[in-house]
Amino acid sequence: METINSLDELRNNLRTIEDYLTSDDIGEAKFAEDLIRRGTCFVAYKAGNQLRFAPSRFIGYLNNSVTEHLDNPTKHGNVTNRAIRQLLGHEQPNKKLDEDYRKYCSTLGINPPITGAFGNQRKFWTAEIGITDFAENIEMDDEFPEGKLVERSHRRRERNKKITELKKMEFLKTHGKIFCEVCGFDFQDKYGERGANFCEVHHTIPVSEMHPSHKTSIDELVIVCANCHRMIHRERPWLSTSQLKKVLK
């Protein structure tokens, strides 16, 4: 594959990464998150009042995509790093940028390793991309002022099958059935067998407020119906279940 030769081509690949991260396609989002988690050399760029990081091994190839990247048998960071050096100079270790990288990973719900790939020290370039933010990440409302990147990460956590099933199992052991912890709505009472053990799960801690090494516990999850879930999320700061119960009363 050809490598990038201009800042416009670099910006185009940054937009692709942003698009994947905010995608409703779980596969695309996971692809981008894995690239960011496993990377060693990154371009740091500011967008939406946030410092973000894109892995060189992806953004250094011209017009790269999931398909192109996975089908490229010769892809190598040394190739893309040379291309990016022509535009931004030499990458350097940077303790402050490494801390910022970890914070960025935290907003995405990613827990990166201590070092880059194969134990190598992470290195960084900084780039001025010439725009305030990518259209793909413009915030939708007050629920997630950090933008769609954080919103999609939080929603995926709330839909994580493993942790939600554990929460439901614990709830069933305690209460014998599944119902909204705020208003008491029972999907099975309303919809019969089709609604058996159905619920939504609210994650009480926004991913943007989590430490990178944060491990989700069942105690942080709340069983809710769709209406109460929406009311909790409607604006920041989010209401607790007890606060929403008072609103209902």
Enumerate the domain spans of the chain.
7-137, 148-248
For residue 249, what are its two tokens?
């009363």
Nearest CA to 136 out of 201, 39, 52, 231 is that of 52
pLDDT score recorded for residue 136: 67
Phi-psi region of 119 (alpha: psi -120 to 50; beta: other; left: phi over 0): left
Give the global pTM: 0.69
Question: For residue 142, what pLDDT is reported?
Answer: 66
pLDDT tens column, 211-246: 666 777 889 999 999 999 999 988 888 999 999 999
- Other Cβ atoms less than 10 A from the Cβ of 12: the count is 15
Does residue 140 register a pLDDT over 60?
A: no
pLDDT in tens, 107-139: 787 889 999 988 999 999 999 988 777 776 765
